[in-house]
């Protein structure tokens, strides 16, 4: 059963649930543009594209969940990101994952990690 705010990530049709404990999602849009100055002094800016980046951060995550994320990263493929807006409704994005920053807190029980940051760039 899914809920508003749930996030799934994986190969299309085989997305994995991302634990919500300690998780935040930041969505950033960046303009790709051309800018020229005309002889008249006017500046012209043409927006070529808008690139979307999703950053999922965990204040703390266990080793099992981190291992699942590392497996997705090591697949080196385009992934499917599902952001649930309601129980049965979601927005789907094709994304590429960057390397995962992390800090180990403890080695016990498979390890606990902090400062985990997953950066996903939308593929258009």
Q: What is the pLDDT of residues 13-42, one digit of tens each?
A: 999 999 999 999 999 999 888 888 877 878
Across the strands, what pairs with 79?
95
Exposure class string for 53-67: b at 16+ Cβ within 10 A, else e: ebebbbeebebebbe
Helices (H) and strands (E) in the chain, counts: 1, 8
pLDDT tier at 43, thresholds 50, 70, 90: confident
Let me know: does 101 contact 117? Beta carbons within 8 Å: yes
CA dist., res. 3 & res. 17, Å (int): 11
pLDDT of residue 48: 85
- What are the extents of the domains in the chain? 7-33+44-122
Let me know: does 45 contact 3? Beta carbons within 8 Å: no
Q: What is the pLDDT of residues 60-82, one digit of tens each?
A: 999 999 999 999 999 999 999 99
Query: Higher pLDDT residue, 110 or 29?
Result: 29
pLDDT of residue 90: 95
Query: Higher pLDDT residue, 49 or 39?
Result: 49
């Amino acid at each position: 059963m899914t809920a508003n705010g749930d996030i799934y990530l994986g190969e299309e049709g085989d997305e994995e649930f991302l634990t919500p404990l300690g998780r935040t999602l930041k969505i950033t849009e960046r303009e790709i543009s051309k800018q020229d100055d005309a002889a008249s002094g006017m500046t012209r800016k043409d927006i070529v594209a808008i690139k979307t980046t999703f950053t999922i951060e965990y204040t703390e995550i266990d080793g099992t969940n981190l291992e699942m994320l590392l497996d997705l990263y090591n697949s080196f493929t385009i992934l499917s990101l599902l952001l649930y807006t309601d129980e049965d409704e979601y927005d789907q994005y094709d994304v590429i994952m960057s390397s995962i920053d992390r800090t180990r807190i403890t080695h016990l029980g498979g390890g606990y990690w902090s400062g985990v940051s997953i950066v996903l760039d939308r593929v258009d």
